[in-house]
């Protein structure tokens, strides 16, 4: 089996590392703080933005899965050195670089997003994410690295706890039958990418040479509004319908005065005020991974959160 290095152990990094380990691969996870070892996974503590140390850590790897990300308010400052370090390590090691991306780089659009859309982000976070991939793509085209970017919409599913989009500020409340508040228009169609599908697509793209040298969208099911998703989750949990309220621009502006995270979300509010839909047909025509059926996503998410809340009591 192959040797792989996963950078970051947030939801996507953890899911990718565990998927690789389940396939019998040797897996090393790199994070700033490190973690105790777990079956099939070695954890190493180092700063991935240090190119010398990272290059040493990935020596001999077949693939590097770049799932690490700076804290949201520090994206503009911290993404460039991290991305440069990761590209340097990929070049020195010869490992395939599989980058986890998102849809910020497209900026506001009025149609389903496809991979051929230009990078037209209007905000700094979208521009920096687009620049990170542009740097890797330039190196790929120059023959210095082998790189692919796998782009997902907002994560959803077991293991997704951060943020307010069907995560910690929403799911626990609806499981208790309480009203929830979401960013933007609760009725706007929105694409939600199931976390296990992200990991499966990352792993598949690493092993498919014909995937390299471009970006792909993770297979994602039909778009559903936040209202529809909350209704499905509440029905699965048996808590009955719960009210879903949108966070108004005025409330968001006021809350942003005291919350750095909410302040940063103002840049991407457009993703929730109107349809935000990803087209994943290109990936599905070329490769094997498909989006998990929504009923399975909903059931697994409710079970995971129910167990998490029970364990916390």
With CA atoms as reference, report the closest residue to 237 among 161, 280, 166, 174. Answer: 174
3.40.50.720, 3.30.300.10, 3.30.360.10, 3.20.19.10: CATH of 3-153+194-217: 3.40.50.720
Please list the helix, strand and coil fractions of the chain in percent, rounded to the nearest 5, in that order: 45, 15, 40
We find that the CATH architecture of domain 155-190+222-277+293-311 is Alpha-Beta Complex (3.90)
The pLDDT of residue 3 is 95
Tens-place pLDDT, residues 28-70: 999 999 999 899 999 999 999 999 999 999 999 999 999 999 9
Cα separation, 52 vs 6, in Å, equals 17
Please determine, for residue 257, whether its predicted confidence score (pLDDT) is greater than 70: no
Q: Residue 215 forms beta bridges with which residues?
A: 149
How far lies 150's CA from each of 21, 68, 126, 147, 296, in Å? 20, 14, 16, 10, 23
Cα separation, 167 vs 233, in Å, equals 12
With CA atoms as reference, report the closest residue to 236 among 307, 192, 302. Answer: 302
Cα separation, 128 vs 75, in Å, equals 8
Helices (H) and strands (E) in the chain, counts: 12, 11
207 neighbors 271 (Cβ within 8 angstroms): no
Contacts of 234 (CB under 8 A, 6+ apart): 174, 175, 177, 240, 241, 242
Region(s) of the chain under CATH 3.40.50.720: 3-153+194-217
pTM (global) more than 0.85: yes
Please state, for a pLDDT cut of 90, what percent of the chain lies above it: 86
What is the average pLDDT across 164-179? 91
Sheet holding 63-66, edge to edge: 41-45, 26-31, 3-7, 63-66, 96-101, 146-151, 215-217
> Which ranges of 35-141 would DSSP assign to H, the alpha helix?
51-57, 75-93, 124-141
Region(s) of the chain under CATH 3.90.25: 155-190+222-277+293-311
DSSP helix/strand/coil, 131: helix
> Please, which pLDDT band fits residue 163 given cuts at 50, 70 and 90?
low
Please determine, for residue 255, whether its predicted confidence score (pLDDT) is greater than 90: no
The pLDDT of residue 261 is 67
DSSP for residue 279: -
Tens-place pLDDT, residues 197-232: 999 999 999 999 999 999 999 999 999 999 999 999
Tens-place pLDDT, residues 62-114: 999 999 999 988 999 999 999 999 999 999 999 999 999 999 999 999 999 99
With CA atoms as reference, report the closest residue to 192 among 153, 159, 160. Answer: 153
Please determine, for residue 258, whether its predicted confidence score (pLDDT) is greater than 80: no
The pLDDT of residue 312 is 87
Please state, for a pLDDT cut of 70, what percent of the chain lies above it: 95
Mean pLDDT for the chain overall: 94
Contacts of 60 (CB under 8 A, 6+ apart): 3, 93
> Please, which pLDDT band fits residue 183 given cuts at 50, 70 and 90?
confident
Q: Residue 150 forms beta bridges with which residues?
A: 100, 216
Cα separation, 310 vs 313, in Å, equals 6
């Amino acid at each position: 089996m192959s040797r792989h290095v996963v950078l970051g152990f947030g939801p996507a990094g953890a899911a990718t590392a565990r998927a690789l380990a389940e396939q019998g691969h040797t897996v090393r996870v790199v994070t700033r703080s490190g973690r105790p070892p777990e079956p099939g996974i070695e954890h190493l503590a180092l700063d991935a933005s240090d190119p010398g140390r990272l290059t040493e850590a990935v020596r001999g790897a077949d693939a590097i899965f770049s799932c690490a990300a700076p804290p949201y308010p520090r994206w503009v400052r911290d993404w460039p050195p991290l991305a440069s370090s990761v590209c340097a390590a990929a070049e020195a090691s010869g490992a395939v670089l599989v980058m986890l991306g998102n849809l910020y780089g497209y900026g506001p659009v009025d149609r389903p997003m496809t991979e051929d859309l230009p990078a037209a982000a209007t905000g700094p976070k979208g521009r920096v994410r687009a620049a990170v991939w542009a740097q890797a793509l330039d190196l790929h085209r120059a023959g210095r690295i082998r790189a692919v970017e796998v782009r997902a919409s907002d994560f959803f599913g077991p293991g997704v706890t951060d943020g307010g989009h069907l995560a910690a500020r929403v799911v626990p409340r609806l499981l208790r039958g309480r009203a929830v508040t979401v960013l933007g228009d609760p009725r706007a169609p929105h694409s939600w990418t199931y976390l296990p599908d992200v990991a499966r697509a990352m792993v598949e793209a690493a092993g498919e040479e014909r995937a390299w040298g471009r970006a792909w969208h993770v297979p994602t099911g039909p778009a559903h509004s936040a209202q529809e998703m909350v209704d499905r989750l509440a029905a699965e949990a048996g808590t009955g319908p719960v009210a879903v309220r949108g966070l108004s621009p005025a409330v968001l502006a006021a809350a942003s005065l005291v919350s750095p995270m909410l302040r940063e979300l103002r840049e991407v509010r457009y993703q929730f005020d109107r349809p935000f839909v990803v087209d994943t047909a290109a990936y599905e025509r070329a490769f094997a991974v498909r989006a998990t059926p929504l009923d399975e996503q909903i059931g697994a998410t409710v079970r995971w959160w129910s167990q998490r809340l029970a364990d916390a009591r």
